[in-house]
Structure 1
């Protein structure tokens, strides 16, 4: 069994609830979406990755593990395209499993046998250059309800752009609120897009975004810390 891998490396988690924790990142190539703000554009195509076996990935993880690292993050691209491969790697490593996903493939996510943490991106219509497919949010909601029903730790990231419209943002949050089965268990991280200099002199709505989310969910606003530290 092989999968296309862009890179395997150790760094601090730069996004979400576990920001600052040392993790090993396995970045898959290939994605089922084409977000306009993507900061890992080289991972969109499967062809950009190197085909690696399960044993090769496990060996690479074991070579760089350090005493302060307890989590391997499967990221991309979209790692849930490769559930069987993730299952085989997970069986051979003694680390917690974090999945960084767009959440649009709930059937694939349900096939992953060991998940300790899921970081799920909620997409806004303006994240795409073309028409927005309503099934994106529907499937993200399916994934969230599935994960919470299985008692898996899950939180959402929502990338905000300087151009993000209040009404669009509110509409997505309200749909989440109406369709999430256990709102009290879900935290949403508003992530201002990088680079942060793009927010200078912009009509920032970050406080309003936080207030909208706060009506329904626990909320934090956290930028990409690895961009600030200038590390991978």
Structure 2
């Protein structure tokens, strides 16, 4: 059984499918406590949740008739038997399943799903998150061009570290690389100037579209 705190249809607010319809399944619980967390409510021990089987989740997804699926949290990969759910969903080749993961969970075993592997959108939490020491650097090995690594930046120091990692691990040759500003913490003009000054080819600046369309704290969007 999986602890689901929200399930809804909206548009993808971030990543390669930004602006496209998606079904969101939000799971309870997280192992991090980022300074800028915008879903902290979903991580509380007493949060209300619905217990769903993998069949329940699949039935709901099929009922929506939406093909993009985003598994999010919290941290979805902490759910017990999450591998069973991922393998179960991968059997339906019509679905495009994306996992939003926080960068602290080893992706090795999940990357080995052979058929219709889910796409990873993996955060790398930088210094301003206060969680950088929890990041699993080896995860860069398991990302490919179907996946995305997202550097969440709140300061110029964050940008400098992101550039260092992008260059050191040649990430633009391996996967899709995004810079995502912490909402309200850094001027996006600064990020653009940084990208220009450092010739950051094949790196994408993204904004959290759902926070522009709706109130930043609104749930279910």
TM-score (ref. length: structure 2):
0.80
Asked if structure 1 preserves the Cα contact closer than 8 Å seen for 2:100 and 2:122, the reply is yes
Count of residues in Structure 1 that have an aligned counterpart in Structure 2: 210
Give the structure 2 partner of residue 154 of structure 1.
147
- In 2, Cα distance between the equivalents of 1:146 and 1:203? 30
- In 1, Cα distance between the equivalents of 2:120 and 2:197? 23
How far 1:83 moved relative to its partner? 2.5
- In 1, Cα distance between the equivalents of 2:150 and 2:157? 18
- In 2, Cα distance between the equivalents of 1:185 and 1:34? 29
Instruction: State the Cα deviation string for residues 103-136 of structure 1 (Å, max 9, x = none).
Output: 32124533655424321111112112xx742x51
Aligned 1:13-162 pairs, distance under 5 A: 13-45=12-44, 48=47, 49-65=49-65, 69-81=66-78, 82-91=82-91, 94-106=94-106, 107-110=108-111, 112=113, 114-128=116-130, 132-133=132-133, 135-136=134-135, 139=136, 141-148=137-144, 153-161=146-154
How far 1:225 moved relative to its partner? 0.9
**1:57 partner SS:** helix
- In 2, Cα distance between the equivalents of 1:89 and 1:203? 37
- In 1, Cα distance between the equivalents of 2:93 and 2:55? 11
- Consecutive unaligned residues in structure 2, runs of 5 or more: 215-219
Going from structure 1 to structure 2, the CA distance change for 1:191 and 1:213 (only over 3 Å counts) comes to: farther
Asked if structure 2 preserves the Cα contact closer than 8 Å seen for 1:190 and 1:210, the reply is no
TM-score (ref. length: structure 1):
0.77
Instruction: State the Cα deviation string for residues 22-55 of structure 1 (Å, max 9, x = none).
Output: 1111111111211111111122246533221112
- Consecutive unaligned residues in structure 1, runs of 5 or more: none
